[in-house]
A and B are shown apart, each in its own frame.
Chain A
Amino acid sequence: MSTAVSEILDEPKTPAVGRKRSDFVYYGLRNKKLVFGLGLELLLVLFAIIGPMLAKYGPQTLTGAQLHHPGGTYWLGTDSLGEDVYSQLANGIRESYLVGALGAVSAAVVGMTLGFTAGWRGGILDEVLQMVTNIIVMLPSLVLLVVIGSYLNSRSVLFEGVFIGLTTWPWVARAVRAQTFSLRSREFVEMAKLSGKRPLEIIVRDIAPNMASYLFLVVILLFGSSMLLAASYDFLGLGPSNTVSLGWMMNQATQNAALLYREWWWFVPPGAVLTAMVAALLVANVGLDEVFNPKLRQQ
């Protein structure tokens, strides 16, 4: 966008542009929470990409060695069926990220669409959308998942991600609606109407940028909570069929009484990695908040 402006203006970029851009980078790089959180998260993402390629066995390949301790051949040991825990972990992380991203994106899309619509239009439409939002908030998603799941032959990762998205969007919708409500009566929005802009243009160009940092943070939070939700569904055995995930690993470990027999290599890695994935996101989120919000910045 800004390149378009400077192209049209046909002038060299003034320092003002660079200064504004690097403002976030400047404070971002100096924020320890952000650097730590984002760094850890990036490492984990990298592992999710590379990890499965390094695995010597498939996640559900029977290696023949059952309940092997971690060591040279089986980096993180094997489970009671003789499946490689490392391979399961690496694939599980990938699965978690996938579900998290799916959940966050679908919740953000639905929540923002409904939030912006309700906030912008107001009136009856707003009442109706608010009612729908409140109903969705009150729905017990676990029960819903059991009911829907019983009608499906097999549950996919896509289904789980979208299901999580479609049950968590109300929080986004509510906040976006409230913000839109207060922004739409601001003078610059009136001016945008006076200048003949279409409603969609006004929402995208005049209203949304004013809550960009909030929207960004919300997506990150949704990402983390989607991964947690997915893990708990998987742990309860309601997750995708025929895939390996962190929650499923813990489910298997519990079912085979790994806790009782102190087979720690079976359940500690998935739990620890999941905690790290979500905690890193939350720490990065706090850091980002400080970077975006000048009042929280420490010089």
Chain B
Amino acid sequence: MSVSVQNLSVAYRSRRGDVTAVDNVSFALADGEIMGLAGESGSGKSTLGNALVYLDQRMKATGGTVTVDGRELPIADTRAMRPLRMTEVSLVPQYAMSALPPTRKIGKLMTDLLKSHRVGDQRAVMTELKRRLELIGLREDVLDKYSFELSGGMRQRVTIIMSTLLNPSLLIADEVTSALDVSTQRAVGEMLLEFRDRGFVKSVITITHDLAILAQIADSIAIMYAGRLAERASTDAIVNSPLHPYTQALIASLPEVGVRHDQVTLTGIPGRPPSLVSPPAGCRFRERCPFAFDKCTQTPPFVEIEPGHTVACWKASDERGAAAGRAGQEQAV
């Protein structure tokens, strides 16, 4: 396990008290795994991603540990995190397109970075950088350009190159494909795959609300709802046999190929996600869940009910628990 997040909670300070945007989240990533983190707006996915790299002044980690390559990250200590950013964990922010300063040339920006991290052999890194630029189809002369001389897609790719220049173990790509046209989305997705395959990054978390792009590039998907993980399984399992009612509704709300939507209306999920200022007790999807029953007033545990398939839902764990009970016992023997 190259990355392991245990019981991580992150809260935003607000005048009405702390708002827990990421609540007791645990997951692990194997070396070379690309995990998609999906969920609707406000579900805490970006907060989770940011918390692993940079907690800004409004945020605070209220519990949990993050381990990368067997080493615990001091995520609450922004000063201690400084040398680890971009070398151990790196984030491509949501605003990757405007993340380059207008007054510094790209090449200078890269050397600034090497100086900040006190990289000894700058020449070797710059040679490698040129190789990578070539790899993703950018010409070397972008290094002599200012960011405003590049197109949006080029800037996005330069930002990704910059974030991965120092070969971080974990790369968090926050909405890197949104705001791009479909073909560029695909190119960026493939770039992430390529970088993983070549070992520039060990594992990747891509945060998005676009399940289609995840189906193409992710090995596994975690679904987040109202600050908690609802379900985590392989991409195949999430797409074809989701267990959590929220995931099921999410998948069902996607348009299907070949269906004409002038006859069939796309269905969404009725209701709205709960406010995180005073979240309801028990399962947070309860209000909107068609299968809710008495037990749902208690918080469902996030349990592995099949190998590699973890769900936080009483219905799913009760049903599968009964069916898989026998199998589980046999395995235990």
Interface residues of A (CB under 8 A from B): 1-2, 4-6, 8-11, 14, 16-17, 186-198, 201, 205-206, 209-210, 212
Contacts and interface: CB of A to CB of B under 8 A. Distances in A.
A212 B104 CA distance: 12
Given A9-B126, A196-B85, 8 more contacts: A5-B108, A9-B140, A14-B144, A187-B99, A190-B93, A191-B95, A196-B116, A198-B116
B101 interface: yes
A8 B103 CA distance: 20
Interface residues of B, number: 42
Contact of B100 (A9, A191, A196, A197): A191
A188 B54 contact: no
A11 B123 CA distance: 12
A200 to B, nearest CB: 10
A69 B217 CA distance: 92
B104 A194 contact: no
Dominant SS among interface residues on chain B: helix
Interface string B58-89: 00000000000000000000000111111100
B204 to A, nearest CB: 16
A195 B163 contact: yes
A1 B90 CA distance: 26
A206 B104 contact: yes
B102 interface: yes
B319 interface: no
A196 B79 CA distance: 9
Contacts of A189: 101
Nearest to B163: A195
B116 A210 contact: no
B107 interface: yes
A194 B53 contact: yes
A194 B163 CA distance: 9
Given A191-B93, A205-B112, A196 B117 contact: yes
A9 B143 contact: yes
30 contacts: A2-B105, A2-B108, A5-B107, A6-B107, A8-B111, A9-B140, A186-B98, A187-B99, A188-B99, A188-B100, A192-B101, A194-B54, A194-B86, A194-B90, A194-B91, A194-B93, A194-B163, A195-B113, A196-B83, A196-B85, A196-B87, A198-B82, A201-B116, A205-B104, A205-B112, A206-B103, A209-B101, A209-B104, A210-B102, A210-B103
Nearest to A10: B123
B104 A187 contact: no
B145 A201 contact: no
Given A2-B108, A5-B107, A9-B143, A197 B116 contact: yes
B159 interface: yes
A198 B86 CA distance: 13
Given A16-B141, A209-B101, A197 B112 contact: yes
A52 B98 CA distance: 55
Dominant SS among interface residues on chain A: helix
A210 B111 contact: no
Nearest first, the 7 A-B pairs at minimum CB distance are: A196-B85, A191-B99, A209-B103, A188-B101, A187-B95, A187-B98, A5-B107
B162 interface: yes
Contact of B143 (A5, A187, A192): A5
Nearest to A201: B116
Interface string B229-267: 000000000000000000000000000000000000000
A190 B53 CA distance: 12
A283 B117 CA distance: 44
B275 interface: no
Given A8-B122, A9-B126, A11-B140, A195 B107 contact: no
Contacts of A10: 123
Interface string B96-135: 0011111111011001110111000011001000100000
Nearest to A15: B144
A190 B111 contact: no
Given A193-B54, A194-B91, A5 B116 contact: no
B98 A188 contact: yes
Contacts of A6: 107
A16 B82 contact: no
A8 B126 contact: yes
Contacts of A210: 101-103
B219 to A, nearest CB: 25
A201 B95 contact: no
A196 B84 contact: yes
B85 A195 contact: yes
B21 to A, nearest CB: 18
Contacts of B105: 2, 5
B82 to A, nearest CB: 5
A4 B104 CA distance: 14
B254 to A, nearest CB: 31
Nearest to A123: B57
Nearest to B115: A201
Most B Cβ at <10 Å: residue of A6, A198, A205? A205
Contacts of B130: 9
A109 to B, nearest CB: 22
Contacts of B104: 205-206, 209
B116 A1 contact: no
Nearest to B101: A188
Given A16-B141, A187-B95, A1 B108 contact: yes
A247 to B, nearest CB: 40
Most B Cβ at <10 Å: residue of A194, A209, A210? A194
Given A187-B93, A201-B116, A5 B103 contact: no
